[in-house]
Amino acid sequence: MTRSSAKATARPTAPVGRAVPGPRPADGAAVRRTVLPGGLRVVTETVPGVRSATFGIWARVGSRDETPALGGATHYLEHLLFKGTERRSALDISAAVDAVGGEMNAFTTKEFTCYYARVLDTDLPLAVDIVCDMLTSSVIAPEEVDAERDVVLEEIAMTEDDPSDGVHDLFAATLFGDTPLGRPVLGTVETVNALTRDRVARFYRKHYDPTRLVVTAAGNVTHEDVTARVAAAFEAAGALPGTGAAEPVGPRGGHRTVRAAGKLDVVTRPTEQAHLILGMPGLSRHDERRWALNVLSTALGGGMSSRLFQEIREKRGLAYNVYSHTSGYADCGLFGIYAGCRPDRLGDVLAVCREQLTQVAEHGLDDDEVRRAIGQLAGSTVLGLEDTGSLMHRLGKSELCWGEQLTVDAMLERIAAVTPDDVREVAREILGQRPSLAVIGPVKDRQAARLRDAVA
């Protein structure tokens, strides 16, 4: 079999599709969307004046789509799509991208998977060709499945060796229990060892249908060129029908995930620090109050002037790292406070966290705190979208999760529209709930018993 990693140079003709002009921000960037006959969506953002381009393909599949027996299959498959296609070996894929100084990677979440490449604008044809080839024509050879299994198991071991990372998986299990959202994205040693080539291949065929995929590109690109190249690549692989139309699969609906309250999970390990997350159910990503919740999280634990940072680190010196965070899913969400501290300070850290949660739930934040958090959130939002990779990420997530594209200006308007009363209302609802707690560290039995007071 002949494999080639040469650049594509021919400019394909434009395909027939339903093109929809997107919003045009004041800075000259343009977002456009086309749905190809097979239901494949192509969304691009043209950014004049840059010399890079980031190309990605998003699949509407994550770990919450797995049965217990398939735990870790989505992430395992993410690895395997880099291991070779009918045209390229794994080395061909990596060497071609390295040869042009590009970056290529992928990531799996609980609700979607993304594969992307960031290259010079002149090398965009190569990126399109390689990523499309991987998504449509991966071989998933039995020998690669067996070899990559050990790599995935090493990744699981690496996560277990990093309690600051592992405590997030533990908190998800604490809050959501034995549900798809509560199980780890990577799977477990047992589930990964049980995955066979046939199981993974069936999972691939089921979830990588064009109606479940979104193609995104951002940077010095033209929508017509990207759409034409993508259509040509998918048609060559037999992944798009020659005639007829198919509708894309829409954003996820509700799943009624069960959420726990007042639950404590402790994993005892001989670490130098105790790592904890104290939190409760949050808001789904479809809830318009999420803008107010993000402002609340920013004020409570999003920066050096936040309440938690000031009270726990600056005033008391109880921890080096402390922050709050939110995650929104299709049907639910979570709000959490993370801290890493010496084991003998665990009780003091939890006491301050509970005190702040109670105080903000009952009395809210003052107007100055809210205004400062709005400014911080607005600034970080804009600065986080200053490169083509971040723009590509926003396009894909917006299309998959909401089915619409918000301009940066529209996002800033939503943030600026949040009022102190909005923040106080969401604080009463979210922070007033009974919290759950996850801890990893050298926690003794007597200390674990006292931790129950934190969730009482």
Q: What residues act catalytically?
A: 78
Which residue, among 139, 153, 151, has the nearest Cα to 197 in the 3D structure?
Answer: 139
Spatial distance between the Cα atoms of 40 and 329, rounded to a whole number of angstroms = 23
* Burial zone of 394 (CB within 10 Å; 0-12 exposed, 13-18 middle, 19+ buried): buried
285 touches 249 (CB < 8 A): no
Length of the chain equals 456
Degrees, nearest 5: CA angle 227-101-81: 60
8 A C-beta contact, residue 22 and residue 31: yes
Neighbours of 456 (CB within 10 A): 10
119 within 8 A of 53, measured Cβ to Cβ: yes
The single residue listed with the structure tokens 């400019």 is 11
The span from the CA of 451 to the CA of 347, in Å, is 7
Residue 427 phi/psi, 5-degree rounding, is -65, -45
DSSP letter for 431, please: H
DSSP state letter for 161: T
Characterize the bridge pairing of strands 41-46 and 213-219: parallel
User: Using CA atoms, how far apart are residues 250 and 31, in angstroms rounded to an integer?
Assistant: 19
- Is-contact 14 227, C-beta < 8 A? yes
